[in-house]
């Protein structure tokens, strides 16, 4: 839930030119699932936890389920999610992408939830995203352009605009699912 909390921090003054989320939930559902399934908490206890989370975050539970924590800005957002993530399934990324218009989604395969942060290809794409020149990032990451080019061409184009060299074993087609 670190990505989700970082997004909420924007309401309290945290500002950036670009944002990156790695496997962040669109709402605090994963932790609630853990409480229900593993800890076997009662519905009453779950309701108390939801109220406490709502008070801490400053959004009602319903607002959180709607994804209000990701209230869109014009700033670019890179979403990186694994299509085999059992903790935070891909639908969370799709929901965030619907809310945040200036976002792109990179899907990996086989990394699950916890290996995203350590994958060299993910690291390289995040570095490329955050170091791209501001005017090119804004122009290149518009959703309609992304959809027109497709994910692989979009990522290749984004990588071309950075001053970083792509490592030779880096193969965009290999890890971005279509």
98 within a domain of the structure (yes/no): yes
pLDDT tens by residue, 51-81: 888 888 888 888 888 888 888 678 889 999 9
Question: What's the pLDDT score for residue 156?
Answer: 56
The Cα-based distances of 113 to 54, 88, 92, 94 in angstroms read: 25, 7, 12, 16
Is there a contact between 79 and 106 (Cβ–Cβ < 8 Å)?
yes
13 within a domain of the structure (yes/no): no
| Domain count along the chain | 1
**Whole-prediction pTM:** 0.70
What is d(CA 143, CA 104) in angstroms, rounded to the nearest whole number?
7
62 within a domain of the structure (yes/no): no
Residue numbers of the domain that contains 141 = 19-25+74-175
51 within a domain of the structure (yes/no): no
pLDDT tens by residue, 87-135: 888 889 999 999 888 888 998 988 888 888 888 888 988 988 888 876 6
Is there a contact between 3 and 24 (Cβ–Cβ < 8 Å)?
yes
3 within a domain of the structure (yes/no): no
């Amino acid at each position: 839930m670190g990505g989700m909390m970082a997004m909420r921090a924007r309401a309290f003054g945290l500002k950036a030119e670009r944002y990156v989320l790695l496997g962040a939930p669109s709402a605090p559902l994963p932790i609630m699932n853990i409480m229900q399934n593993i800890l076997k908490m009662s519905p009453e206890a779950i309701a108390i936890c939801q109220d406490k989370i709502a008070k801490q975050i400053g959004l009602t539970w319903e607002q959180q389920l709607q994804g209000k924590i990701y209230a869109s800005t014009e700033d670019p957002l890179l979403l990186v999610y694994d299509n085999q993530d059992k903790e935070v399934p891909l639908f969370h990324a799709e929901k965030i992408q619907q809310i945040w218009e200036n976002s792109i989604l990179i899907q990996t395969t086989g990394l699950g939830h916890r290996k995203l942060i350590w994958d060299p290809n993910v690291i390289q794409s995040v570095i490329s995203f955050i170091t791209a020149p501001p005017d090119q990032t804004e122009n290149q990451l518009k959703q309609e352009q992304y959809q027109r080019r497709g994910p692989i061409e979009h990522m290749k184009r984004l990588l071309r605009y950075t001053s970083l060299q792509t490592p030779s074993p880096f193969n965009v087609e290999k890890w971005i699912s279509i």
